Amino acid sequence: MAYALQQLINGLTLGAMYGLIAIGYTMVYGIIGMINFAHGDIFMVSAFIAVTCFTLLAAADVSSIPLALMFVLVVTIFFTSAYGWAVERVAYRPLRGATRLAPLISAIGMSIFLQNTVQLTQGARVKPIPPVIEGGIEVWNTADFAVQIGWSQLLIIVTTVVLMVAFNWMISHTAFGRQQRSCEQDRTMAALLGVNVDRTISLTFMLGAALAAVAGVMVTVYYGVVDFFIGFLAGIKAFTAAVLGGIGSLPGAMLGGLLIGLIESFWAAYLWAEYKDVATFGILCLVLMLRPSGLLGRPEVEKV
Amino acid sequence: MMLTMTGVHAHYGHIHALRGIDVEVQVGEIVTLIGANGAGKSTLMMSLFGNPRASAGQIVFDGEDITRLPTHEIALRGISLVPEGRRVFPRMTVIENLQMGANFSAPDNFEADAARVFAMFPILDERQSQRAGTLSGGEQQMLAIGRALMSRPKLLLLDEPSLGLAPIYIRRIFQIVRELNRDHGMTILLVEQNANQALKVAHRGYVLQHGGITIAGSGEELLASPEVRAAYLEGGHA
């Protein structure tokens, strides 16, 4: 029982990060109908930016952890959004109006490009940082197992919940959110009402990248190591989360991320840890076969 | 002059859809475009927004050359379109659709402008928080008109507003067109298959055929013209 509770905490932490990345997939799919396969690598780039920041801060001898975290978060979000903007501008916008397959291939190219750039400039070896947040609270202590929630885990879960609530509110209640949704539903009509569609798409990419950047900082803090290949697996898992929740659905991406995180944790704890990735991809296959519109997605066919 | 199109050509893919269009709309006028399916009526309206972009010719709106402006910039100059097929945002509520229409007008005007739309179409008031996709065709048409009015446009474009609607809605919509023009001085460009009704409300009209203007004149002149009668009024479209 105590062991299961620990897995629940671990799964929620993992799921929070997948959920944040999954939002980027689902929003971009919603607005331009493509899977941005470079999104996982945007996440990877953000983790490297975070590592660089932490290293700089350590060199500068900054000792206040909250201050350091805030600084890293702001800088990482800023630069990662710029990456998100640039990727759309360079790789996808020129292909608007081309066949659906073209931007998809461009996305895979972008993904390879980002991985290789980071590998060449940062090296192929894992980059560690000294632990930023240590310790935690012991929630429950039985005879043979102590359930612990780490401060970093708590921080990750709370930040994610706050961000998701705020983000959902922004999309459903602000003028920008309405414009964003109008572009999803009918781009031509949105332009006819004065919405700058290109700018809205750019902002969508930047927002997706910003959330991935938060996940990137979290991964750095939580695991303490990054390498140029983490974007691939994290990206595919977040993509699975978005599909499981219903691609195009914002709450779906959040729910999907959480479920994938939990499934992965419990699978690794009770079945075979070495096959935990298989679990995720098995789910992807099952969802695509049995319920392609996902848990909260709407069916493809729509009566207008 | 509100709108002047001079020698406008436009292409839809490989189709040469507009072949040298000259159309003028004066301030305070209702002008109608009539013509058969595929004559280029909707293309003409969309070409005002650069979608498709005019490949030759010039479009001047309210003294400004808008031929090369981006679509959203043209909309912000004060042209509102009620498009063919209504194109309300199906997964937004009625009120959100109206907010979309008012996106770029002063926020202080919203309450008053929405109240005006609700006074015009009380059914929309009742359905404020209902998703637009669940409205009937006639209600969606009303919403599309209301949305277009929310930006307080200088020029209102209506593309086939009576298409597919029950007669009761058709009457109401022509009545609204007349009221908007008479009581609010709204300048209106109206595309209609329902040539008889359209010519009756319009000050002037143009007949569009194969992407070109073939006849132009006042509403009464066109109604009385034998060619127009034969082609558009007695040929089953009435």
pLDDT digits (tens, 9 = 90+) for A137-179: 887 777 778 788 888 888 999 999 999 999 999 999 999 999 9
Top residue of A192, A196, A202, A302 to mutate, by most chain B CBs within 10 Å, is A192
Please tell me whether residues B229 and B159 are part of one structural domain.
yes
Please tell me whether residues B131 and B104 are part of one structural domain.
yes
Whether residue A192 is predicted with pLDDT greater than 50 in this model: the reply is yes
A53-62, A267-276, B214-223: which is most confident: B214-223
Please tell me whether residues B121 and B229 are part of one structural domain.
no
Q: What is the mean pLDDT of chain A?
A: 89
Please tell me whether residues B47 and B108 are part of one structural domain.
no
Residue B87 lies in a domain: no
Residues of B in contact with A196 (CB under 8 A): 70, 72
Which spans in chain A are helix H? 2-32, 39-59, 65-87, 101-122, 151-173, 175-185, 187-192, 197-223, 230-245, 250-270, 276-290
Taking the C-alpha atoms of residue A156 and residue A161, their distance in angstroms, rounded to an integer, is 9
Residue A171's domain spans which residues? 16-229
How many angstroms away from the CA of A191 is the closest CA of chain B? 5
Number of domains in chain A: 1
pLDDT at A300: 57
Residue A34 lies in a domain: yes
With b meaning 16 or more CB within 10 Å and e meaning fewer, what string describes B211-230? bebebebebeebbebeebbe
Instruction: Give residues 159 to 198 of A whose Cβ lies within 8 Å of B.
Output: 175, 178-179, 181-182, 185-186, 188-197
Residue B21 lies in a domain: yes
CB contact under 8 A, A192 and B83: yes
- The last residue of a domain, from among B129, B153, B177: B153
CA distances from A150 to A132, B11, B65 (A): 12, 63, 64
Residue A205 lies in a domain: yes
**In a 3-state reduction of DSSP, which class is residue B165?**
coil
Please tell me whether residues B51 and B114 are part of one structural domain.
no
Please tell me whether residues B176 and B132 are part of one structural domain.
no
Please tell me whether residues B159 and B149 are part of one structural domain.
no
ipTM value for the complex: 0.92
Kind of pairing, strands A146-150 and A136-141? antiparallel
How many angstroms away from the CA of A196 is the closest CA of chain B? 6
At B221, list the tokens. Answer: 């002149």
Please tell me whether residues B104 and B65 are part of one structural domain.
no
Please tell me whether residues B58 and B175 are part of one structural domain.
yes
Residue B85 lies in a domain: no
pLDDT at A302: 47
In terms of C-beta distances under 8 Å and separation of at least 24 residues, what long-range contacts does B42-46 make, across chains too?
B42/B84, B42/B159, B42/B160, B42/B191, B43/B10, B43/B12, B43/B17, B43/B18, B43/B211, B44/B5, B44/B8, B44/B18, B44/B191, B44/B208, B45/B81, B45/B83, B45/B157, B45/B159, B45/B189, B45/B191
- The last residue of a domain, from among B136, B153, B170: B153
Question: Chain B: residue nearest A182 by CA?
Answer: B89
Residue A274 lies in a domain: no
Element (H, E) at B47: helix B41-48
| Cross-chain CB nearest to B103 (options A186, A193, A197) | A193
Does the CA dihedral A125-A130-A135-A136 come out positive or negative?
negative
Residue A91 lies in a domain: yes
Please tell me whether residues B221 and B209 are part of one structural domain.
yes
Residue B61's domain spans which residues? 3-78+155-233
Give, rounded to a whole angstrom, the gap between the first and last alpha carbons of chain B.
31
Question: Chain A: residue nearest B76 by CA?
Answer: A194
How many angstroms away from the CA of B76 is the closest CA of chain A? 5
pLDDT at A198: 94
Number of domains in chain B: 2
| Cross-chain CB nearest to A196 (options B72, B81, B96) | B72
B204 bridge partner residues: B31, B218
Number of DSSP helices (H) and strands (E) in chain B, helices first: 10, 10
Please tell me whether residues B32 and B145 are part of one structural domain.
no
pTM of the model: 0.88
Residue A296 lies in a domain: no
Where residue B27 sits, what CATH number does that domain have? 3.40.50.300
Q: What is the mean pLDDT of chain B?
A: 91
| Cross-chain CB nearest to B91 (options A185, A190, A191) | A185
